[in-house]
């Protein structure tokens, strides 16, 4: 009961009113081990003395001999733990570390192995500091505490491991037993108290690799530095979570960045606690897709305050529908809107369904050496009662296109909008620039060029990549969606009828 009360105080107030149950544990370590807050400076840390610090020592987290107090943190109330330079402790599968706060020195490495769990409870007055490296290899980093990251947080999900997870409460993802003060998670009821929070400073890095990583249970990830997704990694963000890419806090220029280095994405996660809205994504920094030939999708309630930016150097990047945000798009790359039918599906392609009944993609010509600034937006009012869905604006500044290498615009419409029509019965209309008048487009010629004297055509050639019917596997009786493909040398507003 005493332990529960102490953890409850730490959760609610963000402080610890006690040190440990040992008088020796209250004796200050000479010189103080690391840079800590005023609250933590009054506590005696349990400093790692095992592998990497003491020759011949092992890496066992629960071995009393590996700690400066002679007591492993698992036996202490509200432990404050420090991993010094060179330290290499391991929290193994099945072990749970519950700490008031953690401090990892610049050359220290703490590993949370597959099935291991690390929970942090200190709030703003007693934050954890990761200045070295924290590796979560299929394990969990959780708790309602605050983490300040100036080093690296590596989140790995491998084919044979559990999914690496950031969660405020163990009960949101794992079966009992739960840490004190953590249970129960009540289905349909959001968290009432503090949420887990990691603030990544200008030099900090969150590194996501290997498979799907969970941003769960209303956890908050505030990035002034770098969120890197690569080597098969992707992020599933639960409803109620928050990702914010923010300007640097230091003197130098720069912003927080979400960097997608292959075709991983930021996908929809779970909705177990009565939060209907998707997770929040605030891009006041930069989203950039640097490589990969496929499609990366950003899912969430998206906003882009100044100086937020989007860059697509390779493949295709899709943002949520309704996001009126220009992107810098390189030759051969694409930008648009879309959402996955099935949450938590890495590598899924944009589809249409009840919640998102149309989407649009715009591909810059492969010969456009300088690329273009592309704006793709689904409008909110119809141009005619005959419109299928709503018009879209696909505009590109600095576009260089030719009849043999045009820009490619793909408009996808859900079966619910089509009234039983297939692609052969759908026309596309284009707003002549500056006229507010829509003109019906002609089919492309057999070689893909527009008819003589025209700059735009609908690709009805029946070839791969041209207009077609598509299915999105919504279940028995699923009718086809339609994708209409336009080859164009200019941009403006477009609508299907």
Residue-wise pLDDT tens digits, 397-419: 999 999 999 999 999 999 999 99
Question: Does 28 have pLDDT greater than 60?
Answer: no
Round the average pLDDT of the chain to a whole number and report it. Answer: 88
Q: Which residues contact 4 (CB under 8 A, 6 or more apart)?
A: 180, 181
Task: List phi, psi (to 5°) of 214.
Answer: -95, 130
Q: Which residues contact 310 (CB under 8 A, 6 or more apart)?
A: 283, 286, 287, 288, 304, 317, 319, 325, 326, 327, 328, 335
| Rounded mean pLDDT, 5-16 | 39
Q: What is the model's pTM?
A: 0.90
Tell me the C-alpha to C-alpha distance, in Å, between residue 423 and each of 146, 358, 389, 415. Answer: 52, 14, 15, 11
Question: Does 14 have pLDDT greater than 50?
Answer: no
| Rounded mean pLDDT, 228-237 | 96
pLDDT band of residue 33 (cuts 50, 70, 90) is: very low
Indicate if the alpha-carbon torsion angle 309, 313, 319, 321 is positive or negative.
Answer: positive
**pLDDT score of 221:** 98
DSSP-H helix ranges across 288-414: none
**pLDDT score of 27:** 28
CB atoms within 10 A of CB 4: 12
Picking from 159-163, 321-325, 467-471, which range would have the lowest pLDDT averaged per residue?
A: 321-325
**pLDDT score of 182:** 78
| Rounded mean pLDDT, 159-178 | 90
**pLDDT score of 323:** 64
Helices (H) and strands (E) in the chain, counts: 3, 40
**pLDDT score of 19:** 33
């Amino acid at each position: 009961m005493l332990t529960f009360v102490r953890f409850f105080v730490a959760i609610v107030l963000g402080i610890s009113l006690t040190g440990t149950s040992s008088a020796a544990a209250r004796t200050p370590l000479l010189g103080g081990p690391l840079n800590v807050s005023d609250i933590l400076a009054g506590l005696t840390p349990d400093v790692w003395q095992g592998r990497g610090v003491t020759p011949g020592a092992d890496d066992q987290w629960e071995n009393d001999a590996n700690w400066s107090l002679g007591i492993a943190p698992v036996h202490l109330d509200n432990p404050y733990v420090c991993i010094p330079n060179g330290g290499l402790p391991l929290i193994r599968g099945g072990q749970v570390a519950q700490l008031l706060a953690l401090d990892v020195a610049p050359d220290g490495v703490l590993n949370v192995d597959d099935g291991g769990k690390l929970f942090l409870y200190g709030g703003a007055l007693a934050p954890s500091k990761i200045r070295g490296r924290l590796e979560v290899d299929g394990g969990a980093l959780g708790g309602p505490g605050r983490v300040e990251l100036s080093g690296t947080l590596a989140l790995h999900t491998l084919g044979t491991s559990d999914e690496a997870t950031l969660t405020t409460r163990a009960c949101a993802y794992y079966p009992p037993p739960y840490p004190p003060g953590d249970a129960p998670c009540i289905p349909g009821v959001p968290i009432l108290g503090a949420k887990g929070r990691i603030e990544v400073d200008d030099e900090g890095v969150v590194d996501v690799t290997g498979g799907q990583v969970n941003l769960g249970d209303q956890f908050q990830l505030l990035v002034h530095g770098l969120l890197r997704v690569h080597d098969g990694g992707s992020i599933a963000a639960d409803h109620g979570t928050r990702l914010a890419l923010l300007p640097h806090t230091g003197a130098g220029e720069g912003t927080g960045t979400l960097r997608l280095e292959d075709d991983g994405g930021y996908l929809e996660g779970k909705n177990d606690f009565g939060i209907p809205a998707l997770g929040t994504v605030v891009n006041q920094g930069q989203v950039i897709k640097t490589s990969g030939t496929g499609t990366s999708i950003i899912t969430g309630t998206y906003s882009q305050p100044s100086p937020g930016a989007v860059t697509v150097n390779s493949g295709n990047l899709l943002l949520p529908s309704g996001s009126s945000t220009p992107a810098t798009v390189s030759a051969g790359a694409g930008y648009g809107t879309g959402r996955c039918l099935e949450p938590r599906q890495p590598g899924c392609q944009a589809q249409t369904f009840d919640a998102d009944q149309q989407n649009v993609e715009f591909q810059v010509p492969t010969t456009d050496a300088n690329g273009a600034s592309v704006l793709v937006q689904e409008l909110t009012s119809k141009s005619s009662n005959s419109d299928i869905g709503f018009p879209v604006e696909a505009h590109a500044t600095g576009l260089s296109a030719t009849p043999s290498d045009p820009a490619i615009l793909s408009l996808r419409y859900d079966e619910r909008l089509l009234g039983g029509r297939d692609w052969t019965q759908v026309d596309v209309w284009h707003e002549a620039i500056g006229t507010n008048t829509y003109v019906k487009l002609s089919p492309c010629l057999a070689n893909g060029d527009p008819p003589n004297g025209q700059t735009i055509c609908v690709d009805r050639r029946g070839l791969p990549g041209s207009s077609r019917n598509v299915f999105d596997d919504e279940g028995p009786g699923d009718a086809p969606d339609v994708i209409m493909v336009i080859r164009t040398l200019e941009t403006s507003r477009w609508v299907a009828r």
